[in-house]
């Protein structure tokens, strides 16, 4: 699959999320502050989703035939706090898609 890199650029009235994967850049502008972003890897179905965890709206999705292990890594560019929560239930909007 290669690397997927996500950048976050805050502006006064919106946030730009920039997803970079296999040389393709996709920009998503969000006008509300997202307190939680969900990441769902459905390995067997070949889906990786980033979504607004409060509203269940998909921000970005990739389809890929996974054949090797997936190794998530997270980093902050500046000092701050990053909280990871694992083992959450699959969101309803994903169960029906």
Q: What residue spans define the domains of the chain?
A: 5-91
In tens digits, the chain (97 residues) has pLDDT values of 678 888 888 888 999 999 988 888 999 999 988 888 889 898 999 999 999 988 888 999 999 888 888 888 888 888 888 888 887 777 777 676 6
pLDDT at 78: 84
Residue the block writes with tokens 């990871």:
84
Residue 47: closest CA among 34, 58, 36, 57: 58
pLDDT at 27: 93
Determine which helix (DSSP H) or strand (DSSP E) holds 92, and give its type and residue range: helix 92-95
Can you say how many angstroms the Cα of residue 25 is from the centroid of all Cα atoms in its chain? 14
Q: What is d(CA 40, CA 47) in angstroms, rounded to the nearest whole number?
A: 8
């Amino acid at each position: 699959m290669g690397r997927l890199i996500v950048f976050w650029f805050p502006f006064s009235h919106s946030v730009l999320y920039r997803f970079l994967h296999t040389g393709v850049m996709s920009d998503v502008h969000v006008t509300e502050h997202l307190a939680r972003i969900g990441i769902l890897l459905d390995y067997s179905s070949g889906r990786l989703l980033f979504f607004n965890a409060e509203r269940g709206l998909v921000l970005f999705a990739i389809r890929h035939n996974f054949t090797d292990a997936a190794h998530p890594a997270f980093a902050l560019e500046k000092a701050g706090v990053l909280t990871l929560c694992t083992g959450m239930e699959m969101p309803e909007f994903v169960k029906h898609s």
